[in-house]
Structure 1
């Protein structure tokens, strides 16, 4: 998927329980949605925008965005794509602005919000324009990006919201927004599939799929994790043997998923840590440090937990 490309969905089960939650926190300018990989964050927001018919600017965050100049450059490109009829030039970030990043951020986002047509600045029940920042976990929490976002939020007009999708919880720079009721949060506990949603996804993908008991077993096996349910369904459809699939939980597929989503993207220190601690279902920081010899084991465990791994 491209850096500015809004996902195109087909045959997606609409999670109206979560749509309602997003509607109820519409008065807060920032919504932070966090959960592990494969829990359906991106699909949720894309389907919500489709269901509510809300226009958006969609931006895929990547490690390069921890450099402010890079972030502002590509956000300008995203704005041009979102507002093709507007010709206003957005300011470029240079080293002259390095000491005044908050002020530049406010000015820059004011220019973006000026691109909105008047109809997008009025108040509608669900908000009528949304900026989406996907994969926010790709930049470290001590990067300037949260500070930039904070500056932009201070200039946000009525009827506009920002939604951030991340595997991580909000960084410290944004926590005060929650205390001031300016940030709504959907966490992993909210994103977990309930039994009705599990059944809806199963019936959508395979209308002839088994009994209510089979659905319940699949729900228990996947533990509300959307990617896990899809992996089980795919294997069940290939092998046409649901009971056997539930016994094995599609272990090979789930291993491959986590190998790609977590292990291969981790740096060498995290890879060594994961390899040496893989056999323990749970552990303390002291146990991990003694086993691995890594003095920062407590910090690694904390980071993995905070990032919903």
Structure 2
């Protein structure tokens, strides 16, 4: 399912026949002489269709990046951008991921990432960022745009499609001409273009010049409203829309009129599938119990009825955001709050079974199905953190009711793991809370891991270590629990944590030599790569600064140097090692 998600995110919508707006083609030709073109306009203004038709006629296959709410987590944004680069330079190592050690210098990371990313794209590439506004109102990408767009090679072009105009921090690039813009005034259909659209859609209803002028005045050249109006029955007069109404209100008026004309089967299908950001046929069939799902979606896509077919496959579709917002509003009125939430929860179950964890979590959050969201978090937290999506996991956890957050030791533990390299002092507090709860709730595994997590956080903090005594006191009981768990990977974590605690707080402890030997064994033979290199870094620190055993330190360096150059080695560990 993750592969399907990547295909959706990194592939353009299928091109369907549309009116060729040659008036704007020449403007895009001119704008592409500069590194960045920013096309802005309201939802339903035809931005994506315009770009698809332009590149189709110019014989160019652009690279596509579908921005969505997951990109509000910068780690997710850079992760997926790295996958796009990997598609075009598979022989090169994967691009760096935004791991926590970079979070204190994100602009520097973004600049280096962007330079490396662009260098891997084929010469002549055009990269499209579609629906840029979907990363959210507090979109952290906005602040990085001057960095990401600053060093675009002369052979690469970037096009941004957004409901919003360029942010203020791009003013220098706008002034210099490096960023060219097409805005709502450019995108509005002229009367001539409306006439062409009518003929393209094979409308049997004849339109005089006066009627076309009225259409233009009523819709203000907004193509979403035009499409809906042209779908109306011939015998219906065009209603007068006051100029004071918003475009969204006009769209809702016409969309509702056409929605009421649909049969009950199609209405039910639309209301239920509106909860899905992306619609796979098999998911739609399971959610709606309608085996006619493919025919319904194919028909809507072929009619350009605010339904987009993705990556050239008949199996995946997406409703236009404006249409989906309308359908969700209808679903709330017609299905009611409880049934809509039940549909969202059911859809989440289907997506989760297919491996789409991120969208399943968002649906459960919207449905306020806290028990299922909690279960999802506990099952998938580790894999989410391994991808570096710390902000995503934090968002899920903090969405839960406060009472649920404070009564679950694992939620405290995962919050500690989120913060451990960002704010280790805060992480210690989370691990303390987790450890306290595990003792009350008799959860041996959570107890052991919280103990290890807290000691690791002390090592990251490089601060006051007196309170490590409180954790060392429990060493023997932790060892006894670990033996009962009987998992070599857990035993390795406990041995390493015990070594850290004794090294930083009680280096003359009677068991210090025992744990030094155990850490040597982890470094040389451990199964977990991350633990091995972290242990090697701490062991080198001990040998050179604590024990002064430089002969052993030299052996360690010779043994681990090739491993430390591995791309998977965390930058912070590399920095500590080389320093």
TM score, norm. by length of structure 1? 0.73
1:240 partnered with 2:241: no
Aligned residue for 1:253?
A: 254
Q: Which moved more, 1:188-197 or 1:216-225?
A: 216-225
1:24 alignment partner, one of 17, 22, 30:
30
Aligned residue for 2:84?
A: 78
Mark the CA change 1:98 to 1:6 in structure 2 (over 3 Å): closer, same or farther. Answer: same
Q: Which has the higher helix share?
A: 2
Aligned residue for 2:43?
A: 37
Aligned residue for 2:165?
A: 169
Mark the CA change 1:90 to 1:16 in structure 2 (over 3 Å): closer, same or farther. Answer: same
Aligned residue for 1:7?
A: 13
Contact 2:218–2:240 (CA<8 Å) still a contact in 1? Answer: no
Aligned residue for 1:187?
A: 183
Aligned residue for 1:276?
A: none
Q: Helix, strand or coil: the match of 1:184?
A: strand
Asked which structure has the greater CA Rg, the reply is 2
Q: Helix, strand or coil: the match of 2:37?
A: strand
2:155 alignment partner, one of 159, 184, 189:
159
**Residues in 2 aligned to 1:212 and 1:24: alpha-carbon distance in whole angstroms:** 34
**Residues in 1 aligned to 2:20 and 2:196: alpha-carbon distance in whole angstroms:** 9
1:148 partnered with 2:135: no
Q: Helix, strand or coil: the match of 2:98?
A: coil
**Residues in 2 aligned to 1:4 and 1:194: alpha-carbon distance in whole angstroms:** 32
Contact 2:68–2:132 (CA<8 Å) still a contact in 1? Answer: yes
Aligned residue for 1:110?
A: 115
Mark the CA change 1:158 to 1:21 in structure 2 (over 3 Å): closer, same or farther. Answer: same
Aligned residue for 2:196?
A: 200
Aligned residue for 2:99?
A: 94
Contact 1:203–1:209 (CA<8 Å) still a contact in 2? Answer: no
Instruction: Give 5+ residue unaligned stretches, structure 1.
Output: 121-127, 266-309
**Residues in 2 aligned to 1:8 and 1:191: alpha-carbon distance in whole angstroms:** 21
**Residues in 1 aligned to 2:67 and 2:165: alpha-carbon distance in whole angstroms:** 16
Contact 2:203–2:230 (CA<8 Å) still a contact in 1? Answer: no
Contact 1:88–1:115 (CA<8 Å) still a contact in 2? Answer: no
Contact 2:44–2:322 (CA<8 Å) still a contact in 1? Answer: no
Greater RCO structure (CA 8 Å; 6+ sep): 1
Aligned residue for 2:65?
A: 59
**Residues in 2 aligned to 1:106 and 1:139: alpha-carbon distance in whole angstroms:** 20
CA RMSD of aligned residues (A): 2.6
Contact 1:105–1:149 (CA<8 Å) still a contact in 2? Answer: no
Q: CA deviation at 1:259?
A: 7.7
**Residues in 2 aligned to 1:84 and 1:181: alpha-carbon distance in whole angstroms:** 31
Q: Helix, strand or coil: the match of 2:239?
A: helix
Q: CA deviation at 1:209?
A: 3.7
Instruction: Give 5+ residue unaligned stretches, structure 2.
Output: 1-6, 242-250, 260-320, 330-579
Q: String of CA shifts for 1:121-178, please: whole Å, max 9, x gaps.
A: xxxxxxx321111111123465331233322222211131111111112122222211
Q: CA deviation at 1:89?
A: 1.4
Q: CA deviation at 1:217?
A: 2.9
Q: Helix, strand or coil: the match of 2:10?
A: coil
Q: CA deviation at 1:258?
A: 5.8
Contact 2:130–2:160 (CA<8 Å) still a contact in 1? Answer: yes
